[in-house]
């Protein structure tokens, strides 16, 4: 009977909080975290921006407030202000369209992380699944040019989504059958896509452009497969209907999780796979399904980007893209809820777009540093999301300090 004290504690660890006793600190923090809802992610974001601003101040001696203002205007969110001038409004509209294009993709890649997360899986492979979706969609949409528009679009999107599903599903199958950890396998699958794209679209590759022999890029998609642009110019990357597909995906996400037996199983497995197994739920099946559905979302992002505004896929598009990785931040900050994912996708979309060299006023902030600022804020948000217990702690300490200050004079 030589047991470690740690092992002793394990079976009794989450002792419930019967009336009369006090919940442990961890339990209380968990409660705040759950009840925190909007508050904690909000504080997290504000903190990240605050520290980002400090760095701007210290390193570049620029005024952080005007920098943020420039980023805000660069993102086009000033379009919502009624008082801006007409010419500003035109620029703002253009910028906002770009922001929402990014938001569209980020909603999908955020969902790809969130759905797996609800099943207890960490899908790091959104990037690869996004890439597979884009590759398959561009191959389909640039072939069979005689097909008529709508069926061709549907076919491209469906096959792109399936490619993403397959790519993530592979990791799911490996997890379900041999227990290979999904973090490892999805990262490996990312690299396969990375080089697969180089093979396909690289100079002399089998799917390289037939018109531009010296550019590592695919053929263009058939013109009639372009998604309809409902706001802005179709030539200048206006906002296409993929945005609504993303919103629909958010709704579908909520419905699947909360109103279907599939979602019930996924959540049960995510919270406690052992209890699910004891109740007769197949954990392996749900691991596979959750990954496949996650991959579908990421694949949709790739396909819709191709048909919405990219119209072709270059090796650089696959190798240089970070849309799948930002999806991790989107899901984490959005706490895997539909509404949360929408707002955090909007935030990151605005950040990325607002700091792009094209949009940021160079007199305010050096454009070559701008995208680093995005990365920094992204990193800080991730750091704070990971440390949200710390944020809660600080929040509570603040209250304690206030209390102390208030009661001090009476002593």
Partner 1 sequence: MDDPPVLELEGITKRFPGVVANDHIDFTLGRSEVHALLGENGAGKSTLMNVLYGLYQPDEGQIRVKGETVKIGSPKDAIERGIGMVHQHFMLIPVMTVAENIVLATEPKQAGVLLDYRAARRRVEELSRTFGFVIDPDARVDTLTVGQQQRVEILKALYRQADILILDEPTAVLTPQEAQGLFEILRVLVREGLSIIFISHKLNEVLDIANRITVLRRGKRIETIPRQGATQAGLARLMVGRDVLLRVEKEPAEPAEPLLEVADLHVKNERDLEAVRAVSFDVRAGEIVGIAGVDGNGQSELIDAITGLRSAESGRVVVAGRDVTRSHTRRVIEAGLGHIPEDRHLRGLVLDFTLAENLALEDYREPPDSRFGWLFPRRLIARARTLIREFDVRGGGPRTRAASLSGGNQQKVVIAREVHRDPRVLLAAQPTRGLDIGAVEFVHRRLVEERDEGRAVLLVSLELDEILSLSDRILVIYEGAIVAEYGPDVSEEELGLAMTGGVREEAVA
Binding site for partner 1 (CB under 8 A): 1-6, 8-9, 11-22, 258-265, 267-268, 271-272, 274-282
Q: Rounded to an integer, what distance in angstroms lies between the CA atom of residue 111 and that of residue 266?
A: 14
What is the rounded CA–CA span in Å between residue 48 and residue 112? 24
Instruction: Tell me whether residue 120 or residue 354 sits nearer to partner 1 (CB atom).
Output: 120
Question: Which of helix, strand or coil describes residue 163?
Answer: helix
CB of residue 21 vs partner 1: minimum separation in angstroms? Answer: 6
Here the tokens at position 132 are: 């597979």
Nearer to partner 1 (CB atom), residue 13 or residue 213: 13
Q: Specify whether the CB–CB gap between 133 and 307 falls below 8 A.
A: no
Rounded distance, CA 112 to CA 330, Å?
10
Q: Which residues contact 247 (CB under 8 A, 6 or more apart)?
A: 107, 342
Other beta carbons within 10 Å of 278: 9
CB-based contact 336:297 (threshold 8 Å): no
Nearest 5 degrees, angle CA 234-CA 70-CA 354?
40
Which residue number, 223 or 280, has a Cβ lying nearer to partner 1?
A: 280
Cα 202 from Cα 51, distance rounded (Å) = 41
| CB of residue 254 to partner 1, shortest distance in Å | 13
Q: How far is the CB of 34 from partner 1 (least distance, A)?
A: 9
Q: Is the dihedral of CA 127, 128, 133, 137 positive or negative?
A: positive
Least separation in angstroms between residue 266's CB and partner 1 is 12
How many other C-beta atoms lie within 10 A of the C-beta of residue 49? 18
What's the min distance (Å) between Cβ of 338 and partner 1? Answer: 16
Q: Is the CB of 2 or the CB of 87 nearer to partner 1?
A: 2
Q: Which is nearer to partner 1, 3 or 368 (CB)?
A: 3
Nearest-approach distance from CB 10 to partner 1, in angstroms = 9
CB of 249 within 8 A of CB of 111? yes
Q: Are 246 and 110 in contact (CB under 8 A)?
A: no
Closest approach of partner 1 to the CB of residue 272, in Å: 4
CA distance 345 to 99: 10
CB of 265 to partner 1, least distance (A): 8
- Which residue in the block uniquely carries the two structure tokens 């979309």? 349
Which of 93/284 has CB closer to partner 1?
Answer: 284
Nearer to partner 1, 69 or 277 (CB): 277
CA atoms of 334 and 327, how far apart (whole Å): 10
Q: Residue 2 or 363: which CB sits closer to partner 1?
A: 2
Give whichever of 80 and 278 is closer to partner 1, judged by the CB atom.
Answer: 278
Query: Contact 138/159 with Cβ under 8 angstroms?
Result: no
Assess contact for 105 and 307: CB atoms under 8 A. Answer: no
> Tokens at residue 10, please?
């394990």
Please state the closest distance from residue 120 (CB atom) to partner 1, in A.
11
- Would you say 119 or 303 has its CB closer to partner 1? 119
Least CB distance from residue 126 to partner 1, whole Å?
Answer: 25
Residues 118, 181 contacting (CB under 8 angstroms): no
Contact 144, 109 (CB under 8 A): no
């Amino acid at each position: 009977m030589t047991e470690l004290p740690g092992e002793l504690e394990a079976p009794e660890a989450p002792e419930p909080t019967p009336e009369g006793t006090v919940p442990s600190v961890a339990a209380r923090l968990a409660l705040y975290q759950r009840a925190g809802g909007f508050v904690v992610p909000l504080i997290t974001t504000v903190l990240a921006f605050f520290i980002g601003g400090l760095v701007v101040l210290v390193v570049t001696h620029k005024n952080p407030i005007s920098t943020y203002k420039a980023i805000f205007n660069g993102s086009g969110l000033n379009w919502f202000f009624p008082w801006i001038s007409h010419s500003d409004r035109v620029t703002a509209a253009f910028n906002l369209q770009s922001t929402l294009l990014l938001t569209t993709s980020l909603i999908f890649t955020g969902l790809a992380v969130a759905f797996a997360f609800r099943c207890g899986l960490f899908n790091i492979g959104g990037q690869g699944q996004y890439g597979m979706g884009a590759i398959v969609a561009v191959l389909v949409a640039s072939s069979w040019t005689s097909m008529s528009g709508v069926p061709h679009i549907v076919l491209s999107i469906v096959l792109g989504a399936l490619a993403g599903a397959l790519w993530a599903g592979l990791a799911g199958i490996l997890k379900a059958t041999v227990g290979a950890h999904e973090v490892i396998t999805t990262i490996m699958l990312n690299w396969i896509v990375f080089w697969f794209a180089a093979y396909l679209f690289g100079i002399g590759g089998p799917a390289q452009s037939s018109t531009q022999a010296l550019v590592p890029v695919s053929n263009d998609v058939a013109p009639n497969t372009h998604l309809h642009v409902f706001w802005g110019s179709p030539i200048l990357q206006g906002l296409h209907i993929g945005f609504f597909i993303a919103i629909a995906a958010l709704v579908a996400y909520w419905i699947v999780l909360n109103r279907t037996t599939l979602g019930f199983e996924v959540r049960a497995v995510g919270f406690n796979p052992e209890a699910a197994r004891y109740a007769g739920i197949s954990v392996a099946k749900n691991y596979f399904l959750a990954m496949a559905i996650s991959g579908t979302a990421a694949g949709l992002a790739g396909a819709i980007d191709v048909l919405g505004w990219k119209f072709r896929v270059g090796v650089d598009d696959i190798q240089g893209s970070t849309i799948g990785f930002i999806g991790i931040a989107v899901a984490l900050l959005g706490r895997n809820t539909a509404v949360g994912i929408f707002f955090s996708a909007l935030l990151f979309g605005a950040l990325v777009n607002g700091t792009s060299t094209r949009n940021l006023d160079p007199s305010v902030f050096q454009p070559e540093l701008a995208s680093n600022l995005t990365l920094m804020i992204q990193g800080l948000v991730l750091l704070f999301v990971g440390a949200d217990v710390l944020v809660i702690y600080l929040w509570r300490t603040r209250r304690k300090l206030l209390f102390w200050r208030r009661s001090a004079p009476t002593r």
